[in-house]
Amino acid sequence: MLAAFEFDNGLNDRWRQAVDAHKAHVAREWPHEAGGVIDQDGRYHACTSIAADKIAHFEIHEDEMEAVCGHRPAAILHSHCSSEDEQGKIVPPQDCPSAQDMRSQMDWAVPWGISLVTEGGATDPFWFGDQVERPPLLGRPFRHGVDDCYSLVRDWHRQVAGIEIPDFVRDPDWWAPHEGEPPLDLYAQGFEQAGFVCVERSRGSILPGDCFICSVRSPVLNHAGVYIGGGLILHHLAGMCSGRDPAAVWRPKLDFLVRHRDLPEDFTCSEL
Q: How confident is the model at residue 178 (pLDDT cuts 50, 70, 90)?
A: confident
CA–CA distance, 247 with 232 (Å, rounded to integer)? 5
Average pLDDT rounded to a whole number, residues 195-210: 91
- Please say whether the beta carbons of 182 and 269 come within 8 A: no
Instruction: Kindly report the backbone phi and psi dihedral angles of residue 24, in degrees, each rounded to the nearest multiple of 5, phi listed first.
Output: -65, -40
146: which residues sit within 8 A by CB, 6+ positions away?
96, 97, 126, 128
**pLDDT, the chain, mean:** 92
What does the pLDDT look like over 221-241, one tens digit per residue?
999 999 999 999 999 999 999
**Range of weakest confidence among 95-104, 145-154, 262-271:** 262-271
Q: What is the pLDDT of residue 5?
A: 41
User: Does 271 have pLDDT greater than 50?
Assistant: yes
**Range of weakest confidence among 68-77, 145-154, 244-253:** 244-253
Closest CA to 165 of 188, 146, 192, 140: 192
Q: What is the pLDDT of residue 2?
A: 42
pTM, two decimals, is 0.92
Over the chain, what HEC string results?
Answer: CCCCCCCCCCHHHHCHHHHHHHHHHHHHHCCCCCEEEECCCCCEEEECECCCCCCCCCCECHHHHHHHHCCCCCEEEEEEECEECCCCCEECCCCCCCHHHHHHHHHHCCCEEEEEEECCEECCCEEECCCCCCCCCCCCCCECCCECHHHHHHHHHHHCCCCCCCCCCCCCCCCCCECCECCCCHHHHHCCCCCEEEECCCCCCCCCCCEEEECCCCCCCCEEEEEEECCEEEECCCCCCCEEEECCCCHHHCCCEEEECCCCCCCCCCCC
Q: What is the pLDDT of residue 181?
A: 79
Q: How confident is the model at residue 3 (pLDDT cuts 50, 70, 90)?
A: very low
User: Does 33 have pLDDT greater than 50?
Assistant: yes
Q: What is the pLDDT of residue 37?
A: 97
Over 91-136, what HEC string results?
Answer: ECCCCCCCHHHHHHHHHHCCCEEEEEEECCEECCCEEECCCCCCCC
Average pLDDT rounded to a whole number, residues 172-179: 88
Average pLDDT rounded to a whole number, residues 72-101: 94
> 134-141 long-range CB contacts below 8 Å, 24 or more apart?
134/9, 134/159, 135/7, 135/9, 137/234, 137/242, 137/272, 138/234, 138/241, 138/242, 138/243, 138/244, 138/272, 139/241, 139/242, 139/243, 140/7, 140/236, 140/241, 140/242, 141/5, 141/6, 141/7, 141/241
User: Does 8 have pLDDT greater than 90?
Assistant: no
Q: How confident is the model at residue 38 (pLDDT cuts 50, 70, 90)?
A: very high
CA–CA distance, 220 with 177 (Å, rounded to integer)? 10
User: Does 100 have pLDDT greater than 50?
Assistant: yes
